[in-house]
Amino acid sequence: MSKFYPIHLNVKGKKCVIIGGGKVAYRKACSLKESGADVVVVSPEVCPEMVNEEGLVLIKREYDECFLDGALLVIAATDNEVVNKKVTLDAEKRNIMVNVVDYPERCSFIVPSTINRGDLCISISTGGASPAVARRIREELESVFGKEYEEYLDLLAKMRSLAMSSVEDSARRRKILQRLAEKDIFDTVKDEGVKSAEAKMREIIFE
């Protein structure tokens, strides 16, 4: 199997189509919606969670190629191999990125297992060889990368903006930004809290 090229894709405001209405399709739809996509779900039947989820466009019909019009990507999440194969062929013909759940050989992209801590996103992938292994590694890492990373990155973004607007010398600014990213600053957030870390970061910017 050829390697997949790892990217984080901006889907905000883009049409993304889910073919299928079960629990797996629901999870895929929610993930895309949380990333800002305009999500269209095509399936004659959908699970109750899908019906109750706001912000999704539900088309309760059998799959047809026309539903791919204008789509950035499509995910086939049905238990019908004939439908999944047709989705793949239709998407390839239209140069639309396609993912068939649990069938990496038919995918032009795969969805990694992820850990999200605010702006921090860690992706784990086995290239489709074993989603279960990717999930296990994710569970192991979740205990390592806790909520403090979200607090740290929120503060770092704020302090980075302050440094960019307050420090004119580019060389000094680069050194400051590098210093703010060092581990002892993160340790201050973790051990002493955000306020202590912010005070320390301000001293570094304005010293």
What would the two tokens of residue 72 be? 């950035």
Question: In whole angstroms, how far apart are CA 55 and each of 52, 160, 193, 205?
Answer: 10, 34, 36, 42
Q: How far apart are CA 179 and CA 124, in angstroms?
A: 28
Whether domain 112-146 has CATH 3.40.50:
no
pTM: 0.81
Domain boundaries in the chain? Answer: 15-110, 112-146, 148-206
CATH class of residue range 15-110: alpha beta
Same fold, 15-110 and 112-146: no
What tens-digit pLDDT sequence spans the chain (207 residues)?
A: 557 888 999 999 999 999 999 999 999 999 999 999 999 999 999 999 999 999 999 999 999 999 999 999 999 999 999 999 999 999 999 999 999 998 888 999 999 989 999 889 999 988 878 888 999 999 999 989 988 999 999 999 999 999 999 999 999 999 999 999 999 999 999 999 999 999 999 999 998
